[in-house]
Structure 1
Amino acid sequence: MTKSSPLITFTTGNQAPQLGFGVWQIPNDKTAAAVQTALDAGYRLIDTATIYENEDGVGQGLKASGLPRHDYFISTKVWNDSHGFDATKAAFYQSLERLQLDYVDMYLIHWPVPKINQYVESWQAMIELRNEGLIKNMGVCNFNAEHIETLLNETGVSPVVNQIELHPGFQQQAMRQFNAEHGIQTQAWSPMGLGTLWDNPTLAEIAAKHQRNVGQIMLRWQIELGNMVISKSETPERIRSNLDIFSFSLDADDLRAIAALHSDQGRLGPDPQLFRLPKN
């Protein structure tokens, strides 16, 4: 694994880089180049999903990198239209083929979709795939506490990661605390608030203080909280910049100022309890 990002150790003893590179909204024909740029910069965790429609590009980028398989960590996700035991297994094998891999380092349920209420069956399929060595780590995305408790009650198997919307405008303290109490690593998606926080004066002041850009401050804040975090960009300079966050730290005043930016109405993505559409 890369020396550029610290490693997080899951309750299973497996490890993953704390900072990863995400490919959401990157067109498939541009994904291979973005992945190669990220790997060249030092990223070793690549996060994709079936619904992103660029797993092929990720696989091409990995192959072109020439890196040995054990040197990178690949995470992908089952989409809402493939919940259920058989459907999840079929979707997984399709992802594996597109990625040109023999296994994935982490497979996640993208949304709980409680109105369909088949996420437990999907989890049972993933347990079977894990036992076969095809999934090294099992996780979830956008799960509320009640959804995780259902998984635990029905299967006894806990996710190692819960990937949730988390940024200075929506800090998810209660969910982070629940995850920590259950040995689940919080991983942040949309760590920069979908571009809504770039002009925030508090973040701008902290960035000027540390001679950094606002994006680096938001990513460093996630690291200070102990979160895993997925950054995303198609611009080579920004890809490299987002990784350059391990040579400075935020102080207590910085952390207090960022904590004050939270809003209970700050969610920018869908509500996990309601979201069930098969496509975005």
Structure 2
Amino acid sequence: MDDRNQLPSTAQVNMSDTSVLYCPTVPLSNGLQIPIFGLGTSHFGGYSHDAIVYALTECGVRHIDTAKRYGCEEKLGQALRESGIPRMDLWVTDKLWPGDYGYEAAKKACIDSCSQMGVKYFDLFLMHWPGSMRPGCSNREVRAETWRALEELYEEGVCRAIGVSNFLVHHLEQLKEDCGVVPHVNQVEYHPFQQPNKLKEYCQQEGIVFEGYSPLAKGQVLSNPTVLQIAEKYRRTPAQICIRWSIQNGVVTIPKSVKEKRIKENCQVFGFQLEELDMATLGSLHDERHVTWDPTDVE
């Protein structure tokens, strides 16, 4: 039997304040289960070999998110192998940079990324951005051509699921019109200050799993008086409150950190639940700010 279909329904998370809890999973439209909590990696100091191994071996993290753009695929592959965790027990997401958009380029880039990481397949492979870098062609045309390549990679088993990142409703609508497979996932910026709820609702209606990055708004939420007040109430850290809020909203959440202490802290979000009033209070903090890329003007 193909072991790619044997992803456990839960991923263990070791907790210091409880014994062992389990990370829930979210079903994709193709029947796979993605862990609702993951660890993000990035460039500009956002990668640490020791932190990845610690997250996997000591914290029970089983969901790792990366991208070619981050320049750490090879190092990440080494950390995955050093952890000793069987590949079938991991969920690995990678992303295709717009410089590799287009049918042939996309297929080659995905295979090359697999080779760099030393894996035979990705659990999830995303188009990183709705804009293209090809002069003389519309973004829509390039997106459709690239997506057809991802559809083939999906059919061939190189990618167990395929999706997009930073796509808005009109990007998704066009892709649905132009191609055959609806994205399994849309990964976008999501935190109390940036709550694209109409996009989230659209994804839910279309069977697209909504995944959020930058759940701490690059640290900006950690000093917010409302977040601090709620954190004091639950005797939790501001980071734990915001990650819990995201997860409790049903969002697949991928905080980043290269510090073992922070990674452990971020994992400890399954032993408590926010009350409805506090969920609503955090939901009222939306002010439309972006702390990363804003795709609003991409046609």
TM-score (normalizing by structure 1): 0.94
* Alpha-carbon distance in 2 for matches of 1:70, 1:53: 24
Matching residue of 1:33: 50
How do 1:162-181 residues align onto structure 2 when only pairs under 5 Å count?
Answer: 162-181=186-205
Deviations 1:147-166 (A, max 9, x none): 11111111121111100011
User: Which AA in structure 2 matches 1:46?
Assistant: I
Matching residue of 2:69: 51
Residue of 143, 153, 161 corresponding to 1:119:
143
- 1:3 maps onto 2:21 in alignment: no
Deviations 1:240-271 (A, max 9, x none): 1101100000001101210110113x122222
Matching residue of 1:236: 260
Matching residue of 1:150: 174
SS of residue paired to 2:48 = helix
RMSD across aligned positions (CA): 1.5
User: Aligned-pair distance for 1:74?
Assistant: 0.3
* Alpha-carbon distance in 2 for matches of 1:12, 1:93: 22
- 1:248 maps onto 2:272 in alignment: yes
User: Aligned-pair distance for 1:31?
Assistant: 3.2
Once the two structures are overlaid, the 10-residue window that deviates more, 107-116 or 233-242, is 107-116
User: Which AA in structure 2 matches 1:130?
Assistant: Y
Once the two structures are overlaid, the 10-residue window that deviates more, 209-218 or 154-163, is 154-163
User: Aligned-pair distance for 1:275?
Assistant: 5.9
Deviations 1:166-207 (A, max 9, x none): 100011111111111101111001111111111100000000
Q: Is the 8 A contact 1:32 1:62 kept in 2?
A: no
Q: Is the 8 A contact 1:106 1:135 kept in 2?
A: yes
* Alpha-carbon distance in 1 for matches of 2:249, 2:177: 29
* Alpha-carbon distance in 1 for matches of 2:241, 2:155: 40
Matching residue of 1:66: 84
User: Which AA in structure 1 matches 2:223?
Assistant: D
- 1:192 maps onto 2:216 in alignment: yes
* Alpha-carbon distance in 1 for matches of 2:276, 2:25: 24
* Alpha-carbon distance in 2 for matches of 1:270, 1:43: 26
Residue of 257, 267, 279 corresponding to 2:290:
267
- 1:213 maps onto 2:222 in alignment: no
SS of residue paired to 1:19 = coil
Q: Is the 8 A contact 1:142 1:162 kept in 2?
A: yes
TM-score (normalizing by structure 2): 0.88
* Alpha-carbon distance in 2 for matches of 1:72, 1:58: 13
* Alpha-carbon distance in 1 for matches of 2:49, 2:27: 28
SS of residue paired to 1:196 = helix
* Alpha-carbon distance in 1 for matches of 2:99, 2:280: 41
User: Which AA in structure 2 matches 1:109?
Assistant: M
SS of residue paired to 2:74 = helix
SS of residue paired to 1:95 = helix
Q: Give the unaligned 5+ runs of structure 1.
A: none
Q: Is the 8 A contact 2:12 2:61 kept in 1?
A: no
SS of residue paired to 1:261 = coil
* Alpha-carbon distance in 2 for matches of 1:52, 1:195: 20
User: Aligned-pair distance for 1:25?
Assistant: 2.9
Deviations 1:192-235 (A, max 9, x none): 11111111000000000011000000000011100001011111
- 1:99 maps onto 2:108 in alignment: no
Q: Is the 8 A contact 2:190 2:215 kept in 1?
A: yes
Q: Is the 8 A contact 1:106 1:139 kept in 2?
A: yes
* Alpha-carbon distance in 2 for matches of 1:190, 1:258: 16
User: Which AA in structure 2 matches 1:16?
Assistant: I
* Alpha-carbon distance in 1 for matches of 2:26, 2:53: 23
